[in-house]
Structure 1
Amino acid sequence: MQASDSIKIIPMQQKHIVDINKTNEPFTVFGRLVPCLHHDIWSYEEELFDTPHDIQFPDDHLNWESYINQEDKVIFMAYLGKACIGQIRLVKQWNKYAYIENIAVCQSHRKSGVGRQLFNKAEEWAKKKQLLGLSLEAQDDNLAACRFYIKNGMVLGGVDTMTHAFNKNIDKALYWYKTF
């Protein structure tokens, strides 16, 4: 399947709210990104786990209506026909970056270009709003996501060891940026 041939990326409207958590499917955790700060420059290595495992985030329960037709936030939904296969949720931040709150693609459409299309739409939205770039936070043990962010031009801008201190499986929160 060529994702660009048949996928429609549209702003979420009231009728799409029923689809918002459909993209919340399991994903495989197979390694972590290990960051290192040296002379104010971040570098990183990959550490692969001996035993990969699947995890799934709990469904989000937000006020979805608050994202509809707003100037400072939006959710773009990816549809293949009538099936929701992906979404990206953005919020304009105080630092003039568009913060990606969530990006998710259904398992059946991962690695088909849908994530890239959603990321491109986020860039387009941020540029239209005259923002400086995109930012997001990812867990260090989500190596697939980190690889995706790197592939799409994001750079590691910071690390926080306390954000997920309550979760024994997550060592660090990684903060990624793409400046325009």
Structure 2
Amino acid sequence: MNSTEEIIISPLKEELIADINQTNDYFTVFGKVVPSFQSGTWSFEEKLFDDPKEIRFPDDQLEWSQYINNENKALFLAYKNNQCIGQIRIVKDWNRFCYIENIAAKKEVRGHGIGSLLLKKAEEWAQERNLIGMSLEAQDDNLGACRFYVKQGFILGGVDTMKQSYNPHIDTTLYWYKVFK
């Protein structure tokens, strides 16, 4: 893919619901974020794995019609040549942040600006609602995603070691924030 000019970002409509899980591709887990809290500030180091692995989240099964024409939640899909190549699902959270429930891009278009375009659309949506920023969660072993969030201006704002207790493969949930200037 050579240009993001051909990308169309569309809010969810009834006829696009079937496209939502098309962006749920495998991704490589190749390292983890090791957070540290000192003097009131979060920082982190990266630890690369000896054996990277491919994983995929289960397809989301939600009541998608709730994301259509809703003032407090939205889902935007990215298209190129009528193919769904990305999505971002967002909600207006109680703390006046736009909470990103999911962001995904097809494997073959990762690194080509689709995620950045989707985040820009989410930021516009949030600012139209006078929200103060954006937030999201990521697991500590999704280093690729965490690197992307940092590149997009997100900072680590918190850590939870209990949230994913049911899952023996996840140690820590990381909370990322981007505050609007």
Q: Name segments (4+ residues, structure 1) moved above 4 Å.
A: none
**SS of equivalent to 1:28:** strand
* Identical amino acids, percent of aligned pairs: 56
Aligned to 1:34: 34
CA contact (8 A) 2:24 2:104 kept: yes
Aligned to 2:93: 93
The offset of 1:94, in angstroms, is 0.6
1:29-68 equivalences under 5 Å are 29-68=29-68
Structure 1 position 116 matched with structure 2 position 146:
no
**SS of equivalent to 1:137:** strand
Aligned to 1:131: 131
**TM-score, normalised on structure 2?**
0.98
Q: How many Å separate the matches in 1 of 2:121 and 2:82?
A: 19
CA offset digits 1:69-113 (Å, max 9, x no partner): 000000000000210000000000010000000000000111011
CA contact (8 A) 2:4 2:112 kept: no
Letter in 2 for 1:119: L
Give the CA RMSD over aligned residues: 0.7
Aligned to 2:78: 78
1:153-164 equivalences under 5 Å are 153-164=153-164
The offset of 1:10, in angstroms, is 1.1
CA contact (8 A) 1:72 1:92 kept: yes
Length, aligned pairs only: 180
**TM-score, normalised on structure 1?**
0.98
Structure 2 regions of 5+ residues with no counterpart?
none
CA contact (8 A) 1:135 1:176 kept: yes
CA contact (8 A) 2:78 2:84 kept: yes
CA offset digits 1:142-164 (Å, max 9, x no partner): 00000000000000000000011
Aligned to 1:23: 23
CA contact (8 A) 1:30 1:53 kept: yes
The offset of 1:51, in angstroms, is 0.3
**SS of equivalent to 1:5:** coil
CA contact (8 A) 1:3 1:114 kept: no
Q: How many Å separate the matches in 1 of 2:123 and 2:132?
A: 10
The offset of 1:30, in angstroms, is 0.1
